[in-house]
Amino acid sequence: MRQKVKSFIVEVNKNNLMLFLLGIAIFIVMGILQPRAFLRAANIRGMGVQFPEFGILCFGMMLAMISGGIDLSLVGIANLSSIIAAVVMLKEGGSVYSIVLGILCALLVGAGCGVFNGFLIGYLKIPAMLVTLCGLQLYTGLGLAITRGPAITGLPAGFDKIANGSILGIPHSVIVFVILAIIVSFLLRSTVYGHQMSFMGTNEIASKYSGINNLKITLITYMISGILGAIGGILISSHYNSAKTDYGKSYTLLTLLIVVLGGTDPNGGKGNVLGVTLAVIVLQLISSAFNILRINSFVKTFVWGLILICTMVITRIIDNRNVRE
Amino acid sequence: MRNSFKKKCTTNEAIVAYTIIVLSLVIGLMNPAFFDFSTVITLSRAMLVTLIFAVIEMVVIISGGIDVSFPAIACFSSYATIRIILVCGIDNIFFFYAIAGLMGIFFGVLNAVLIAKLHLPALIATLGVSSVANGATLAFLGTEEYSNIPSHIDSLSKSFLFACTNSNGIVYQMTSLVLIPIVLLIIVYLLLKFTTFGRGIYAIGGDKNAARIAGFNVTRIQSIIYMGAGFLAAVGGVTYTILMRQASPQNLMGSEMMVIAAVVVGGTRITGGHGTVLGTVLGVVLIALVQNNLIMVGIPAHLQTFVVGLIIVLGTGITSIRAKHIANSAKV
């Protein structure tokens, strides 16, 4: 019996276990410090509306990172596609049909931006980091050219329900997040594409010589990442009930931090949905705890950077020890 | 003979130079006010700090890394030092540069440990350091902007090399701070071209393992680069503070994008191993020209981010296509 438990613990990813314990620890500490404010239903609901926004972007970042690249343009894609959705919805007059059309357009724009990234990375062999950094500028600039600065408001009634509404007390955005988590997990574990992608991330040259079409895999990866960006963008704009180019500016660093914290290898090849999901929740708990304790929001930037560095250093030291053994 | 001439005319630097000339002609035709010596002065003022940052970024990229933490380091060290100066009433330019430089070196050491010692990916490590430095500045040092720079330090912003008057009678003066990037450029040029250390930077950017086997101490070279980058980032921050006559905790944040763009447009390969000082200078000139003169050509302000982004994508695309072409062409 004891052996069984032991082997089970060894089998469950150590990183995920640590994240899980960390999450519980935050819950306990905050429950003791501020039981009223932290454990209140409104706070937990508020968290439920917030974390899917960047959580979905994290999945895009994770896919790009597993394939051996990185996607820094996600926030740009998110804002551009939500702006296009807003423009379409306003033009079509604000019926339910227009909302659906707007969302479809946003997904198309996201996919298009992703394919553009993928083309530059996979075909022209420009490093992903540079392409997506430029992409961020390009997509933000395009969004700015459309909005001319101010936010687009007056979105049709009902659009704000996408992020702010709920079924049986569960916010819609959480449901979207869970569905996407399952889809991405399925893609990674049970499809040929997912396995080919992680092979490519581990060793690009070896995957090329073993007959994997690297260009195709890169294009698909960044397209999915772009679509995820667009979904994140719709949730963000639905949450604020408006669309603007500089929403979610801090999310780029945050998604990178979460993905690395969630056990994704920055050099490519490794990563799992469960780890990233746990990391998303832990980060949201920390963020919420900071708000309740009324800590200056700039401290958050500082702490996030610190967590990012510490996680990577600890992982690296553990890895080095394993290699030596 | 003819072949080498042809080669010289199609180098990356030459292409950037042609672009600059064509662009200046276009701007000048649309707005004759551009063809005035005052433009040179305005441009060099705008480029001054970018040049300092671009040179360090170039060296880091040549060595096969990347550094996105320099704006945060620059802000932290110049802002923290100006606070010390204001509290203690020390009015000394040398003190300003020295203390800020020390703080810059501290962050540089942090980068060096993470990247050279622990072999973490440079982008993510420097992004983390950037977040720490920026968060620390805003959370622990404050968000207030100071424009009461002590008089002795402030006097540097009012010392000029020469002045000229344009046709409307407006006097343009070349600030003497422009000497800092010029001296820096010459030093880095000599360092990269004529020292073993400089050749080592190219070597580890080309192939780290080959460089190690060839006898270069990779860890030491990388550490020195990141420490130097931290120091020079601080110098850039201090120079910016003096130039603007105002200390702000985050006005440089976000400039990393433009600097990386300028370096890459100037022909430095982001994968490391290639890059020249001249190319970087031309890249900075091109980006500064675009940024400062889009309004003169009549492109509205809300389109500028997009146009700059487009130019960067085109610039990097051309560089990469050339690199791909060279890689695929027949080797002698």
From A128-137, A172-181, B246-255, the region with the lowest mean pLDDT: B246-255
Q: For residues B105 and A286, give the distance between their C-alpha atoms in angstroms, rounded to a whole number.
A: 31
pLDDT at B60 over 80: yes
pLDDT at B322: 74
pLDDT at B167: 66
Assign B31 to helix, strand or coil: coil
Cβ-based contacts of B123 with chain A (< 8 Å):
70, 129
The verdict on a CB contact (< 8 Å) between B306 and A127 is no
Cβ-based contacts of B66 with chain A (< 8 Å):
129
Phi-psi region of B45 (alpha: psi -120 to 50; beta: other; left: phi over 0): alpha
The verdict on a CB contact (< 8 Å) between A301 and B139 is yes
pLDDT, mean of residues B267-280: 84
Cβ-based contacts of A135 with chain B (< 8 Å):
313
Nearest to B296 by CA among B34, B25, B20, B23: B34
pLDDT at B233: 92
Cβ-based contacts of B134 with chain A (< 8 Å):
301-302, 305
N-to-C CA span, chain B: 18
B142 touches chain A (CB under 8 A): no
Residue of B nearest to A320 (CA): B118
pLDDT at A44: 75
Cβ-based contacts of B125 with chain A (< 8 Å):
309, 312
Q: For A10-60, what is each residue's pLDDT tens digit?
A: 555 677 777 788 888 887 887 787 777 777 777 777 777 788 888 899 999
pLDDT at B234 over 80: yes
B22 touches chain A (CB under 8 A): no
Where residue B223 falls among pLDDT bands split at 50, 70, 90?
very high
pLDDT at B103: 92
pLDDT, mean of residues B191-207: 89
Higher pLDDT, B323 or B238: B238
Higher pLDDT, B154 or A71: A71
pLDDT at A313 over 70: yes
The verdict on a CB contact (< 8 Å) between A296 and B139 is yes
From A162-166, B100-104, B188-192, the region with the lowest mean pLDDT: A162-166
How close is the nearest chain B Cα to the Cα of A45, in Å?
28
What does the CA dihedral A241, A247, A250, A254 come to, rounded to 10 degrees? 50
Where residue B330 falls among pLDDT bands split at 50, 70, 90?
low
- Tokens linked to A122: 């996979």
Higher pLDDT, A162 or A89: A89
Where residue A164 falls among pLDDT bands split at 50, 70, 90?
confident
pLDDT at A9: 53
Ranges B182-191, B299-308, B312-321, most confident: B182-191
pLDDT at A107: 92
pLDDT, mean of residues A274-301: 83
How close is the nearest chain B Cα to the Cα of A111, in Å?
19
B114 touches chain A (CB under 8 A): yes
pLDDT at B38: 76
pLDDT at B324: 73
pLDDT at B105: 93
Where residue A2 falls among pLDDT bands split at 50, 70, 90?
low
Higher pLDDT, B289 or B167: B289
B59, containing H or E segment: helix B37-62
A–B CB contacts, 8 A cutoff, strictly below: 133
pLDDT, mean of residues A96-122: 88
The verdict on a CB contact (< 8 Å) between A141 and B132 is no
Cβ-based contacts of B321 with chain A (< 8 Å):
124
B270 touches chain A (CB under 8 A): yes
Cβ-based contacts of B111 with chain A (< 8 Å):
none
pLDDT, mean of residues A81-108: 85
Q: For residues A246 and A240, give the distance between their C-alpha atoms in angstroms, rounded to a whole number.
A: 12
pLDDT, mean of residues A131-142: 86
Ranges A34-48, A277-291, B108-122, most confident: B108-122
pLDDT at B59: 92
pLDDT at B276: 87
A215 touches chain B (CB under 8 A): no
pLDDT at B112: 92
% of chain A exceeding 90 in pLDDT: 10
pLDDT at B104: 93
Average pLDDT, chain B: 83
Higher pLDDT, A153 or A65: A65
pLDDT, mean of residues A132-154: 84
% of chain B exceeding 70 in pLDDT: 95
- Tokens linked to A279: 């990391």
The verdict on a CB contact (< 8 Å) between B305 and A137 is yes
**Is A19 in contact with A262 (CB distance < 8 Å)?**
yes
pLDDT at B2: 59
Q: For A194-249, what is each residue's pLDDT tens digit?
A: 888 888 888 888 888 888 888 888 999 999 999 999 999 988 888 888 888 888 77
How close is the nearest chain A Cα to the Cα of B31, in Å?
23
The verdict on a CB contact (< 8 Å) between A253 and B127 is yes
Residue of B nearest to A319 (CA): B118
A18 touches chain B (CB under 8 A): no
B262 touches chain A (CB under 8 A): no
Sign of CA dihedral A232, A238, A239, A241: positive
Q: Furthest-apart CA pair in chain B: how many Å? A: 65
pLDDT at A149 over 80: no
% of chain A exceeding 70 in pLDDT: 96
Average pLDDT, chain A: 83
pLDDT at A87 over 60: yes
Amino acid identity of residue A17, one-letter, is: L
% of chain B exceeding 90 in pLDDT: 17
Choose among B114, B143, B304: nearest Cβ to A309.
B114
Choose among A127, A256, A302: nearest Cβ to B124.
A256
The torsion angles phi and psi of B189, rounded to 5 degrees, stand at: -60, -50
Residue of B nearest to A119 (CA): B317
The verdict on a CB contact (< 8 Å) between B257 and A133 is yes
B316 touches chain A (CB under 8 A): yes
B307 touches chain A (CB under 8 A): yes
Q: For B10-28, what is each residue's pLDDT tens digit?
A: 677 787 888 888 888 888 8
Cβ-based contacts of A304 with chain B (< 8 Å):
131, 135
What single DSSP character describes residue B270?
T
pLDDT at B260: 84
**Is A145 in contact with B302 (CB distance < 8 Å)?**
yes
Cβ-based contacts of B261 with chain A (< 8 Å):
134
Cβ-based contacts of A126 with chain B (< 8 Å):
270, 316-317, 320
Cβ-based contacts of A267 with chain B (< 8 Å):
121
**Is B327 in contact with B20 (CB distance < 8 Å)?**
no
Note the ipTM here. 0.80
For tokens 């880091």, the residue is: B60
Q: For residues B233 and B45, give the distance between their C-alpha atoms in angstroms, rounded to a whole number.
A: 18
pLDDT, mean of residues A122-133: 82
Q: Which domains does chain A have, with CATH numbers?
A: 50-324 (1.10.3470)
Give the distance from CA A74 to its chain's centroid: 8
Nearest to B20 by CA among B318, B308, B286: B286
pLDDT at A262 over 60: yes
The verdict on a CB contact (< 8 Å) between B320 and A124 is yes
A266 touches chain B (CB under 8 A): yes
pLDDT, mean of residues B113-140: 87
Residue of A nearest to B141 (CA): A298
How close is the nearest chain A Cα to the Cα of B38, in Å?
30
Q: For residues A26 and A13, give the distance between their C-alpha atoms in angstroms, rounded to a whole number.
A: 20
The verdict on a CB contact (< 8 Å) between A316 and B120 is yes
